[in-house]
């Protein structure tokens, strides 16, 4: 069987060795050191060949998701780091590929994580099957998964070692069709610890089902209260609440699972049985005569009878007396209080045990593969065994004896199969077998199960002996027959042993350690007595399911029955059948579970506690068997594939012979001939040191290969990318040229006669361009706009174009707020030098030259005659002269002399005009003394407002890179002499002239005749 190197290869040396077979030094100290190191690093799985050792982490881990399922699916064990998925996949592949029945045996003591391991395996199998999504297969998978929570509810309990301890053994066969999909299954249950129903040690609980029902909130129909301490059968351990368990949520999950599986109305019956047992615990007796007990209060009995649908009178008789048939006569014999209590507890245990068996039966009926289907279609099986681990308590009774016997049988099977597999592989490969000394626990199995002289046989003899036989008498019989057995000790055979009590204890030297048993209760538990009266009572139930559970109750009182099989004999038969006729016929895979500490801590590793488990699980012996001469073996094909890069002759491909020839070349080239042997299909390597040497050289070679491959691949990618880029660029270039030609053709067609159009194509809709030509089209639109402007300006002489620019500016500023603003006439700017407007041109020109020399302005922007008003409401004729630096107020009557220093243009904050034909203009200044004036149209009736607005706005745009504020309103708000004034326009016969209008108002009287004439 192939060895793995997973830990060494995939995880790194800081995590220790992933396969104990590859330990350099094989002793218990090295084994424990590696186990502890891996646990401290969060690595809970380690291999021994194909056996996985699992340490309970006591915390959730994120290594069981779909990503990890995909990581292990279809892979060989040694291809990935150690994981329980690898063992599950190995068992599945062996079943599917070789049509070989397999089984996975999960073992370990209570609290080591066996139940969780079985659930993880089931979920993995469910994840990798039914890829086709067939409904029937999905139904079977769902039932197999859902059955777990039902079985855990009714078969698991909190113990002092484990919050979810399996108190029964479970072996599940999963049947697969030829495609490897689950088509059914069967569950066998073993030795439910039914004594827990009536008694729990301190710190422990009854089965989960009792607490789930009490926390369900649905208690009225069962006559219960929600406090577990109210019932004798759930209060003895004083540990009803467990932080890691949510009983209410689990109750809902169990009911949902029962619906999925198809329990139907029978689900209610099982909960009624649980409730009836709780009421049974409150049933008390009192003595009313010699050896005659009576029920103290009928209330609990009535509840039990109601829940189980029993006759109350018959129920009371059954609990207080029993019918005995002797020599053909039938008589009723009363119970003492002690006998009545014994009968009550036996009744509770038997009813719960039988109910549990029927729960398993219902699950089996839902997933059972029909016999004709098994015969017709090839069916293979994977078995999963989750059975109680080895137990050593302060008080070990009959249950612990049976459990430990079961573990002895499983250990015997484990050693036998491992040795058998190793021996068979060596024989197949032609390798000489080296005998390994190991402890064979067959002697302990024989001590328990041997005919006539075994402990179970002696116990059965004691149970079948007429007369009153006590437990001490049974112990005495064992001492007489087994006193010389080296694995059996009692006080009688070893007087010096102070730990043993005469007549009470015996000790067995198990493979897992010495266990001292208390014989008290052995005989009664082995007899497993339930009075026939109770069986008849239950058979007579009106509940159809309860009645069916007890068919033996149909026998009459006078019927002669066979001697019942004892519990020990029945358990022995079932375990022998499981081991010898089931597991031994399958290819086994093992999960060996270890409990790291007693505190359920995720960080604590109790060295001595773990060492004890390693020893009694025989893990060190398992490693020795695996290393019997050779620590590692691998098929030639895989060896060559893995290590071919280590020699030039085998890299990159070996074509000069077989895989064995290539393997020999590698070994010879590395000078490792003395540490290997060649089998028929595999190479066998003796020491782990050689394996690690191969791996180290492989790691170095892989790094070099990786660098070379990266270099070549990057170069290849770069060349491919360059060629693609060149091709893409050419394609883009050609495509753009094509799109450009196509689009330009559309443009030529659209704008073919645009030169003769009135607006030169202003309103023509441009064809939608492709995105790649967006920028080009925007450029063409700009060209078109400039061409349109050129065509529009073409009729105008070049000398008129500056004034045309001012008119465009005025139009943009006014935007329809004033209809008449003189756009139809020629704008001259300086009207003082126009003889038609000013006959005294020379005087005006002289005055302007004087101002220009004095103030150094460059250009006169606008100059004209105006009517001006001041803060005193005086109206006077003046000349306004606006230059590129100052605004001057001039007196035409005094040879155009400036009346005051010019006002800087920096003082101007804005302009305001009226919307009418009048030529009211207000130039707003920062000093609070605005220019309020009326532009005089003269004889030509010129409208100067547009020219002033255009001239100043254009100047502001050029010199100050900003827009001059221009307002248009019927009333002009201004400041004269630091006081706010309001100027309005009034029509009059004469004018224009300013007049006072109210308190702070000024009115411009504008002649109506001038309004009628309009402006040019």
Contact 457, 450 (CB under 8 A): yes
Of 34, 148, 159, 166, which is the active-site residue? 166
Of 16, 108, 111, 454, which is the active-site residue? 111
Of 56, 110, 148, 869, which is the active-site residue? 110
Residue 11 is among the residues annotated as catalytic for this protein: no
Of 56, 165, 622, 951, which is the active-site residue? 165
Query: Which residue has tokens 């002696």?
Result: 458
The torsion angles phi and psi of 928, rounded to 5 degrees, stand at 80, 15
Burial of 707 (0-12, 13-18, 19+ CB in 10 A): exposed
Collapsing DSSP to helix, strand or coil, 547 comes out as helix
Is the torsion defined by CA of 437, 439, 445, 448 positive or negative? Answer: positive
Contacts of 726 (CB under 8 A, 6+ apart): none
Residue 166 is among the residues annotated as catalytic for this protein: yes
Helix axes 945-960, 801-814, angle to 10 degrees: 100
Of 34, 118, 162, 914, which is the active-site residue? 162
Span between the terminal Cα atoms of the chain, in Å: 115
Q: What is the CA radius of gyration of the chain?
A: 54
The closest of 509, 359, 368, 493 to 448, measured between CA atoms, is 509
Contacts of 137 (CB under 8 A, 6+ apart): 129, 130, 181, 182, 183
Cα dihedral value 334, 337, 340, 345, nearest 10 = -170
Burial of 104 (0-12, 13-18, 19+ CB in 10 A): buried
Residue 389 is among the residues annotated as catalytic for this protein: yes
Contact 38, 16 (CB under 8 A): yes
Strands (E) across 456-615 are located at 488-490, 505-510, 513-518, 587-594
The strands making up 1001-1007's β-sheet, listed across from edge to edge, are 972-976, 979-988, 1001-1007, 993-996
Which helix (H) or strand (E) segment holds residue 698: the answer is helix 688-750
| 910, two tokens | 């804005």
Of 34, 54, 107, 115, which is the active-site residue? 115
Contact 535, 550 (CB under 8 A): yes
| 343, two tokens | 């009968």
In whole angstroms, give the CA distance from residue 77 to residue 360: 34
Which region, left, alpha or beta, applies to residue 589 given φ > 0 means left and ψ of -120 to 50 means alpha? beta
Contact 222, 216 (CB under 8 A): no
CB atoms within 10 A of CB 669: 13
Residue 115 is among the residues annotated as catalytic for this protein: yes
Residue 111 is among the residues annotated as catalytic for this protein: yes
Query: Which residue has tokens 């006081």?
Result: 979
Secondary-structure breakdown of the chain: helix, strand, coil percentages, each rounded to the nearest 5: 50, 15, 35
Rounded to 5 degrees, what angle do the CA atoms 494, 500, 504 make? 110
Contacts of 192 (CB under 8 A, 6+ apart): 155, 167, 168, 352, 353, 356, 357
| β 886-891/903-904 pair status | antiparallel
Of 109, 391, 399, 425, which is the active-site residue? 391
Rounded to 5 degrees, what angle do the CA atoms 479, 501, 193 make? 80
| Residues classed as catalytic | 110-111, 115, 162, 165-166, 389, 391
């Amino acid at each position: 069987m192939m060895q793995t190197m997973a830990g060494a290869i995939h995880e790194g040396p800081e995590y220790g060795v992933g396969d104990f077979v590859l330990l350099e030094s094989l002793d218990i100290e090295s084994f424990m050191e590696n186990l502890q190191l891996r646990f401290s690093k969060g690595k809970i799985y380690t291999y021994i060949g194909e056996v996985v050792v699992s340490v309970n982490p006591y915390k959730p881990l994120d290594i069981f998701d779909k990503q990890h399922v995909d990581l292990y699916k279809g892979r060989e064990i040694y291809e990935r780091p150690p994981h329980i998925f690898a063992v599950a996949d190995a068992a599945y592949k062996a079943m599917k590929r070789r049509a070989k029945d397999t089984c996975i045996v999960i073992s370990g003591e209570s609290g080591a994580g066996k139940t969780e391991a079985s659930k993880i395996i089931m979920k993995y199998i469910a994840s990798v099957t039914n890829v086709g999504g067939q409904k029937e297969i999905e139904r079977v998978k769902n039932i197999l998964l859902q059955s777990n929570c039902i079985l855990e509810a009714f078969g698991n309990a909190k113990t002092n070692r484990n919050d979810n301890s399996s108190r029964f053994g479970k072996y599940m066969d999963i049947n697969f069709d030829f495609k490897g999909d689950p088509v059914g299954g069967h569950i066998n249950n073993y030795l439910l610890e039914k004594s827990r129903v009536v008694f729990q040690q301190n710190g422990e609980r009854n089965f989960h089902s009792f607490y789930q029902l009490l926390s369900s909130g649905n208690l009225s129909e069962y006559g219960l209260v929600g406090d577990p301490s109210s019932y004798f059968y759930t209060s003895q351990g004083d540990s009803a609440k467990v932080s890691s368990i949510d009983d209410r949520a689990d109750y809902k999950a169990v009911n949902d699972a029962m619906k999925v599986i198809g329990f139907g109305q029978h689900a209610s019956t099982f909960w009624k049985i649980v409730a009836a047992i709780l009421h049974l615990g409150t049933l008390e007796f009192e003595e009313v005569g010699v050896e005659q007990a009576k029920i103290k209060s009928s209330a609990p009995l009535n509840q039990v009878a109601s829940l189980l649908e029993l006759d109350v009178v018959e129920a009371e008789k059954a609990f207080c007396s029993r019918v005995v048939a002797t020599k053909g006569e039938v008589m009723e014999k009363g119970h003492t209080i002690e006998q009545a209590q014994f009968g009550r507890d036996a009744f509770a245990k038997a009813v719960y045990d039988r109910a549990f068996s029927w729960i398993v039966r219902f699950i089996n009926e839902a997933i059972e593969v029909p016999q004709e289907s098994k015969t017709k279609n090839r069916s293979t099986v994977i078995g999963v065994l989750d059975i109680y681990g080895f137990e050593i308590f302060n008080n070990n009774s009959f249950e612990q004896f049976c459990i430990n016997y079961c573990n002895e049988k499983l250990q015997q099977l484990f050693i036998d199969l491992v040795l058998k597999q190793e021996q068979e592989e060596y024989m197949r490969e032609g390798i000489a077998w080296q005998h390994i000394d190991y402890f064979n626990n067959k002697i302990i199995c024989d001590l328990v199960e041997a005919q006539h002289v075994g402990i179970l046989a002696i116990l059965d003899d004691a149970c079948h002996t007429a007369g009153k036989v006590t437990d001490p008498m049974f112990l005495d019989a064992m001492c007489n027959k087994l006193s010389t057995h080296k694995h059996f000790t009692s006080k009688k055979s070893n007087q010096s042993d102070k730990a043993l009590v005469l007549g009470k204890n015996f000790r067995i030297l198990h493979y897992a350690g010495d266990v001292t048993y208390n014989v008290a209760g052995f005989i009664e538990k082995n007899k497993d007595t339930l009075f026939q009266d109770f069986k008849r009572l239950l058979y007579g139930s009106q509940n159809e399911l309860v009645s069916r559970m007890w068919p033996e109750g149909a026998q009459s009182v006078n019927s002669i029955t066979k001697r019942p099989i004892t519990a020990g004999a029945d358990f022995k038969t079932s375990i022998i059948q499981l081991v010898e006729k089931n597991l031994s016929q399958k290819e086994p895979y093992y999960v060996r579970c270890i409990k790291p500490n007693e505190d359920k801590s995720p960080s604590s590793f109790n060295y001595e506690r773990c060492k004890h488990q390693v020893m009694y699980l025989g893990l060190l012996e398992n490693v020795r068997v695996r290393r019997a001469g050779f620590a590692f073996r691998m098929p030639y094909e895989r060896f060559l594939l893995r290590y071919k890069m280590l020699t030039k002759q085998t890299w990159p491909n070996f074509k000069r012979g077989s895989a064995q020839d290539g393997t020999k070349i590698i070994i010879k080239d590395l000078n490792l001939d003395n540490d290997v042997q060649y089998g028929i299909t595999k190479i066998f390597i003796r020491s782990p040191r050689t394996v690690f040497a191969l791996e180290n050289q492989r790691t170095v070679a892989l790094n070099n290969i990786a660098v070379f491959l990266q270099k070549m691949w990057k170069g290849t990618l770069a060349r491919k990318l360059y060629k693609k880029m060149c091709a893409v660029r050419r394609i883009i270039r050609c495509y753009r040229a094509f799109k450009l030609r196509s689009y330009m053709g559309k443009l030529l067609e659209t704008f073919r006669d645009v030169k003769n159009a009135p607006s030169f194509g202003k309103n023509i809709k441009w064809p939608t361009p492709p995105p790649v030509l967006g920028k080009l089209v925007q450029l063409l639109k700009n060209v078109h706009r400039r061409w349109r402007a050129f065509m529009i300006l073409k009729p105008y002489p070049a000398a008129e174009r500056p004034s045309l620019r001012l008119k465009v500016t005025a139009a943009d500023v006014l935007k329809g707020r004033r209809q008449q603003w003189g756009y139809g006439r020629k704008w001259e700017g300086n009207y003082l030098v126009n003889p038609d407007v000013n006959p005294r041109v020379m005087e005006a020109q002289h005055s302007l030259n004087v101002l220009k020399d004095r103030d150094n302005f460059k250009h006169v922007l606008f100059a004209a005659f105006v009517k001006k008003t001041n803060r005193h409401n005086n109206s006077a004729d003046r000349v306004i002269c606006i230059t590129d630096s100052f605004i001057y107020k001039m007196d035409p009557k005094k040879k155009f002399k400036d009346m005051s220093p010019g006002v800087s243009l920096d003082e101007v904050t804005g302009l305001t005009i009226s919307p009418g034909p009048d030529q009211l203009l207000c130039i707003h200044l920062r000093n609070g003394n605005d220019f309020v004036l009326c532009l005089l149209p003269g004889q030509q009736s010129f409208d100067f407002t547009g020219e002033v607005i255009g001239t100043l706005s254009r100047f502001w745009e050029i010199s100050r890179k900003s827009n001059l504020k221009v307002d248009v309103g019927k009333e002009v708000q201004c400041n004269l002499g630091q006081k706010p004034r309001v100027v309005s326009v009034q029509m009059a016969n004469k004018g224009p002239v300013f007049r006072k209008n109210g308190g702070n108002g000024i009115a411009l009287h504008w002649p109506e005749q001038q309004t009628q004439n309009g402006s040019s």
